[in-house]
Amino acid sequence: MLSFNETIETPEIWFQQSWEMFEASMVTYDSFLGFKSQQTDRDRQRKVGLMKGTMLLLGLAVENALKGAVVYKAKPDIRNGKLDPKYFHKYSHDLKGVAEKLGADFSDIPRDYLDRLSIYVQWASKYKAPLRQVEFESSRGNIKMQAPSDFDNAKIIINRLQVYCGYTEESGWPYQS
């Protein structure tokens, strides 16, 4: 069993969580695709809920990979038995902010991708509207799921960040967890 410090400080653990969330997003997406009926309000709610759940899990997958790479780059200060949430980003679940802090180059990924995922993780999977009007206005028309490219982009980001952290297909992780 890993200690709190080992769990927070080990990039591999963040990536395990990332891939678990990615796989869960795929299963949820399959359920979304398989659900054809939209005859009742409950049918529509289930279909929309599955889409939102897919995007939430996909956003969490990318967020965990980004945070794993940040932890790889510089171990956080957890001497007081907690991790300061501002260690990763200024604004909660701001995936673009984490990528910028990391200095990651995702120029081959659509510019709005991390913003769209952030919107789902921050509020769109939980609420009909964000808690601030400015976020509501800026999100209009910008939060639609784009499959399969949303999944492809997540894989690219997670794989690229794993390599950055020393992971190889041949050898696995450079340290034991």
Give pLDDT tens digits for 87-135.
Answer: 998 888 999 999 999 999 999 999 899 999 999 999 999 998 888 898 8
pLDDT value of residue 86: 86
pLDDT value of residue 177: 47
Question: pLDDT by residue for the chain (177 residues), tens digit each?
Answer: 889 999 999 999 999 999 999 999 999 999 999 988 778 999 999 999 999 999 999 999 999 999 999 999 999 989 889 998 789 988 889 999 999 999 999 999 998 999 999 999 999 999 988 888 988 888 888 889 999 999 999 999 999 999 999 999 999 998 754
Spatial contact of 34 and 23, defined as CB atoms under 8 Å apart: no
pLDDT value of residue 59: 98
CATH of domain 4-164: 1.20.120
pLDDT value of residue 68: 96
**Token reading at 67:** 């945070």
Q: So where are the chain's domains?
A: 4-164
Q: What is the 3-state secondary structure (H, E, C) of 107-176?
A: CCCCCCHHHHHHHHHHHHCCCCCCCCHHHHHHHCCCCCCCCCHHHHHHHHHHHHHHHHCCCECCCECCCC
